[in-house]
Amino acid sequence: MALPLFANDILTIDIGFRYIKILQIKRKKNNSLVVVNFGIGDTPKGCIKNGAINDKERVIAEIKKVMHEQNLDAKEAKIVISGTNIITRIMMIDKVPEEEVDKKAWEEIKESLPINFSEHSVDYKLLGVINENGTEKIKLFVTAVSKKIITSYIDILNSLNLKPVAVDTPANSISKFFQKEVKYEESENWIKKKRRIKSSSSNTYAVIDMGSETTIVNIIKDKSPEFNRVLLMGGSNIDNAIARTLELEQRHMDKAERYKKMYGIAVKDPNNELENTCCKTAKAVVDEIIKNIKVCFDFYQNRCAGETVSRIYTIGGGSMLKGLGDYMEQTLDVPVYPINALTIDGIEFVQGLNLEKINYLINAIGVSF
């Protein structure tokens, strides 16, 4: 019997407030990953409250439906937890000999994290040594997740008869994704455009996940996650604002979302009154989101001894908002790269897959590594 070319397929699942993303992935012998197929389902309304899944049955039913429709039949799964449930902190400890780092790290974590340690799963990564006012300090990236939340995600996988292989955070899956070499097909126009923007050569970049209820700001330096903040604002705030401005009823919220997708924030036809109104309304929300992103960048630089962010990658459905990339570049003065414009070493897609939706899938791809 011929040896199978691939090891077992796995499913990866990212349950967002608006869409559920499910991918089937194979690992090739050379270790590169192949996305075999994927499906995107609608998260049933009202199933997720404050980041926790409070109506598992309806979520499970939707996942089953998508799996069936797209023929996703792997038996093992990895899942990403919703960002709003996770505590992340950058901490500094005095530099101590290597064998004492772990003890010192846990002392600091126990002292400064305001959580019940028996109810949380806590983890840290060493980010290296920095010099703070003449003293050498070790920088830590600390993550804490409630054990109850982890169990609820495992329950979902069990109910789907899937063997849970990993439950991970968005910050980890994003940083794993960006471990890979990210490449651009840089056209002449593209290069000219980028030259107009001040670009620092630091190896620090931001990955901004523009979701429906949340915008997650990740800062990655030398491929390690250094900062993660979940802003409780996203695409649905734009829908709500458009609905309010147009005085649409709650049940016509899908209309507001449609206008948002159609018009974005850059007016194309100045004579179209509806377009002008929607763009202006959407832009006001985007301004608020960008203001908060800027606060994160400043905090990272001033309080976490971080470097200037040299580029921004945008992911998530909200990153498709028309005119967003250019507007972000102007306001933040940092080059913005939408994820759909790149190719990534070590990740392949089966021919024929519709890759227009790749920006939705980054969390679910990252968790597969």
Ligand X SMILES: Nc1ncnc2c1ncn2[C@@H]1O[C@H](COP(=O)(O)OP(=O)(O)OP(=O)(O)O)[C@@H](O)[C@H]1O
Minimum CB distance to ligand X, residue 52 (Å): 12
Position among 89, 261, 280, 294 found at the interface with ligand X (CB under 6 A): 261
346: left (phi over 0), alpha (psi -120 to 50) or beta: left
> Which segment (14-22, 146-154, 221-229, 258-266) binds Mg ion by CB under 5 A?
14-22
Tokens of 293: 């992103």
Name which of 62, 15, 13 is nearest 211 in CA terms: 15
Of 16 and 39, CB closest to Mg ion: 16
The residues in 186-225 that bind ligand X, with binding defined as CB under 6 A, are 211-214
Under rule CB under 6 A, residue 41 binds ligand X? no
Under rule CB under 6 A, residue 366 binds ligand X? no
**Binder of residue 204, out of ligand X, Mg ion, none (CB less than 5 to 8 A by kind):** none
Under rule CB under 5 A, residue 325 binds Mg ion? no
**Binder of residue 218, out of ligand X, Mg ion, none (CB less than 5 to 8 A by kind):** none
**Binder of residue 212, out of ligand X, Mg ion, none (CB less than 5 to 8 A by kind):** ligand X
Amino acid at 264: G
DSSP state of 312: E
Q: What are phi and psi of 337, to 5 degrees?
A: -120, 110
Under rule CB under 5 A, residue 16 binds Mg ion? yes
Convert residues 113-152 into a mask of x (bound to ligand X by CB under 6 A) and - (unbound): ----------------------------------------
336-338 and 311-315 as β-strands: parallel, antiparallel, unpaired?
Answer: parallel
DSSP state of 345: T
Under rule CB under 5 A, residue 264 binds Mg ion? no
Rounded to whole angstroms, the Cα distance separating 308 from 28 reads 37
Q: What are phi and psi of 211, to 5 degrees?
A: -95, -160
Per-residue DSSP letters for 227-288? EEEEES--HHHHHHHHHHHTT--GGGHHHHHHHHHHHTTS-S-TT-HHHHHHHHHHHHHHHH
Position among 39, 41, 225, 234 found at the interface with ligand X (CB under 6 A): 234
**Binder of residue 236, out of Mg ion, ligand X, none (CB less than 5 to 8 A by kind):** ligand X
Of 213 and 226, CB closest to ligand X: 213
Under rule CB under 6 A, residue 19 binds ligand X? yes
Name which of 299, 289, 143, 150 is nearest 212 in CA terms: 289
Sites of contact with Mg ion (CB under 5 A):
16, 211
Sites of contact with ligand X (CB under 6 A):
16-19, 82, 211-214, 234-236, 257, 260-261, 316-318, 320-321, 360
